[in-house]
Amino acid sequence: MNIEKGYAMIVITGGTGQLGSRIVGRLLERVPAAEIGVSVRDPSRAAELSARGVRVRRGDFADSSSLAEAFEGAAQVLVVSTDSAGEEAVAHHVAAIEAARAAGAKRVLYTSHQAAAADSRFAPMVDHAATERRLADGPFTALRNGFYASTVPLLLGAALETGELTAPADGPVSWTAHADLAEAAAIILADEGRFDGPTPPLTAPVALDLAEIAAVLTELAGRPVRRVVVSDDAWAAGLVEHGVPAARAELLLGMFRAARRGEFAVAGPELEHLLGRPATPVREVLAGALGR
């Protein structure tokens, strides 16, 4: 964007990531490219966006001076949450929020989660809650996204080969497609007056547990896949045997503990209302991942 022309710029962090890139693509359908900027750690990866007229600047959550430049002239900044967890994740999110406000952004948005809570059994949800508390120091919108449906294929393991979907006891999860959440974020960014504070849960309309996922997988594979429940310790030990660090295995177990407590079970209509169409079913996401 040429700030001299007076455009109200929307800046998105992580503009080349799995969610951020989709948000930018959807936003380009709604506002001129000159009104969109991306903050990315490696600008060379955003050459295609630059060619389309999007402002590309380097922005690293660990480098506040880079964020000041990346957010220059922004009326809105969408902080896409990082893949890290713990104090580092919260520190990076807060650095981006503070830099956005210092740059004069009137509205800071953040990709949070429907289960954000200080007492969550899944560590990333605690991080989201901590970030939201810092967001509340000024005008903000926290996008309470449903659990990414792209996680489901990662939980299958060798289910297609063995006919067994093996995992700890779980609970219903509102598996929600990246594409749907990206479109919703673009709609919210393009409509500056929509939502103040946390949004309602932006989720698929139904929540499925892994037994129901196994039934979907049975349909897609054309042969039985049954759900097998193993202990938390046995599952974590299996991960460690395959090279996953013990701390990472423990973090991942938190997802099942939180699901058992019903933290991801809320499934509301707001996402479909925003999109004006049905949300993408997890069956479609799974079929795409499996090439079915």
| Tokens matching residue 99 | 């830099």
Q: For residue 3, is pLDDT > 60?
A: no
Interatomic CA distance for residues 190 and 27, integer angstroms = 7
pLDDT, tens digit, 9 for 90 and up, residues 33-62: 999 999 999 999 999 999 999 999 999 999
Say what the pLDDT of residue 1 is.
Answer: 34
Say what the pLDDT of residue 6 is.
Answer: 41
In this structure, is the dihedral angle defined by the CA atoms of residues 146, 63, 135 and 103, taken in order, positive or negative?
Answer: negative
pLDDT, tens digit, 9 for 90 and up, residues 74-103: 999 999 999 888 999 999 999 999 999 999
Grade residue 127 by pLDDT with cuts at 50, 70 and 90: very high
Domains of the chain: 3-146+177-202+266-279 (3.40.50.720)
pTM over the 0.75 mark: yes
> Shortest CA distance to 151 belongs to which of 4, 42, 256?
256
Interatomic CA distance for residues 60 and 39, integer angstroms = 8
Provide the percentage of residues in the chain whose pLDDT is more than 90: 91
Per-residue b or e along 3-37, where b marks 16 or more CB atoms closer than 10 Å to that residue's CB: eeeebebbbbbbbbbebbbbbbbbbbeebebebbb
- Is pLDDT larger for residue 273 or for residue 292? 273
Query: Phi, psi at residue 107, to the nearest 5°?
Result: -145, 130
Say what the pLDDT of residue 218 is.
Answer: 96
Grade residue 284 by pLDDT with cuts at 50, 70 and 90: very high
